[in-house]
Amino acid sequence: LVKPVFKQDWQLNHEQVELIQELGSGQFGSVYKGWLQVTPFRSKVLVAVKTLHEQHLNADDRIKFLKEANLMLKLDHPNVVKLYGVCASREPIMIVMEYCASDSLENVVTKKKTSNVEKANFLHGAAKGLEYLHHEKIIHRDIAARNCLIDSRGKVKISDFGLSVKGVEVKDQKGGRLPVKSMAPETLRRGLYSNASDVYSFGAMMFEVYNEGREPFGECNLDGNQLRRAIIHQKVVLSIGKHCPAEIVTLFDWCRQFDPKLRPSFTQVLEYLITIDGVPLED
């Protein structure tokens, strides 16, 4: 007797997805804008589709690529990019996600003039998504303005779970492509990742948002290793800039405390942000 195999609702057929246009290239292949026919009875929805390129078809890369989808599958929050599902029954393997029309937070703050209230609201949206992730016991590990996307209604969505892990505190001393400029001193020194190290990186993202997308420590002229040592030994301190509103400087300094125990949680970040006039904009 053959047992019936039920298809999970995250398992999509390639026929349900129509690629329209390439958006950019990701770590494992191209990312496309496309249409998804969720069911035959409903109209199509715009989606972003990550594809696994042929050169990454080895088992290791395939697992890494699908790990991101596996983690996203359980997530459901207005400030986190939604995963519709995965096409994995044949090549090319594809991850189908909510489409964020308006670009990354990095590009928005670099290219457009945004008011201080808009900036604080971007941070508020991101902090809401991150509070949810921490509640779900996920450490993002790569918080930066390039990994926050903005949808057509201006809502911030946390994206790129490529480095994310399940846990409250994890030790990982693997090297590789690491975002040193945003990383917490305890991560750089001992490979410790926690909710507090995400908060520290959120501080680096605050710097980007209030400095037109500029890189943290960009003016230091140090290579990755030199910067790593300088951060660990507190030889360099990131300053968000004099032009920044005083209440933002206070929050920035709180998030950037050297001792992880002294940093706020994202719940505290949110409690702080809503004391600012005009935050939150809507909900």
Give CA separation, 76 vs 31, 47, 136, 274, in Å. Answer: 22, 16, 10, 23
Which residue's structure tokens are 């998030």? Answer: 255
Q: Per rule CB under 6 A, is residue 28 in the interface with ligand ADP?
A: yes
Question: Please, what is the minimum distance in Å from the beta carbon of residue 23 to ligand ADP?
Answer: 4
Interacting residues with ligand ADP between 171 and 230 (CB under 6 A): none
Q: Per rule CB under 6 A, is residue 94 in the interface with ligand ADP?
A: no
In terms of DSSP H, where are the helices of 24-150? 59-73, 105-111, 116-135
67 class by beta-carbon count within 10 Å (0-12 exposed, 13-18 middle, 19+ buried): middle
Which residue's structure tokens are 């457009």? Answer: 112
Separation between Cα atoms, residue 104 and residue 108, nearest integer Å = 6
Question: Please, what is the minimum distance in Å from the beta carbon of residue 271 to ligand ADP?
Answer: 29
Where does this chain touch ligand ADP (CB under 6 A) — which range of 155-163, 196-204, 217-225, 274-282? 155-163
Give all strands (DSSP E) within 168-222, no chain letters: 169-171, 192-194
Name the DSSP letter for residue 56.
G
Q: Pick the catalytic residue: 9, 103, 142, 259?
A: 142
Where does this chain touch ligand ADP (CB under 6 A) — which range of 95-103, 172-180, 245-253, 267-275? 95-103
3-state SS assignment for residue 186: helix
Question: Which C-beta is closer to ligand ADP: that of 143 or that of 238?
Answer: 143
Residue of 129, 162, 203, 260 interacting with ligand ADP (CB under 6 A)? 162
Residue of 97, 133, 139, 276 interacting with ligand ADP (CB under 6 A)? 97
Do the beta carbons of residue 86 and residue 66 sit within 8 Å? Answer: yes
Question: Please, what is the minimum distance in Å from the beta carbon of residue 18 to ligand ADP?
Answer: 16
Whether 9 sits among the annotated catalytic residues: the reply is no
Which residue's structure tokens are 């770590």? Answer: 27
Separation between Cα atoms, residue 198 and residue 202, nearest integer Å = 6
Question: Which C-beta is closer to ligand ADP: that of 104 or that of 187?
Answer: 104
Question: Which C-beta is closer to ligand ADP: that of 30 or that of 265?
Answer: 30
Q: Per rule CB under 6 A, is residue 264 in the interface with ligand ADP?
A: no
Residue of 88, 100, 123, 188 interacting with ligand ADP (CB under 6 A)? 100
249 class by beta-carbon count within 10 Å (0-12 exposed, 13-18 middle, 19+ buried): middle
Which residue's structure tokens are 């996920």? Answer: 138
Question: Please, what is the minimum distance in Å from the beta carbon of residue 47 to ligand ADP?
Answer: 8
Active site residues: 142
Q: Residues in the site for ligand ADP, rule: CB under 6 A?
A: 23-24, 26-28, 31, 48, 81, 97-100, 104, 149, 159-160, 162
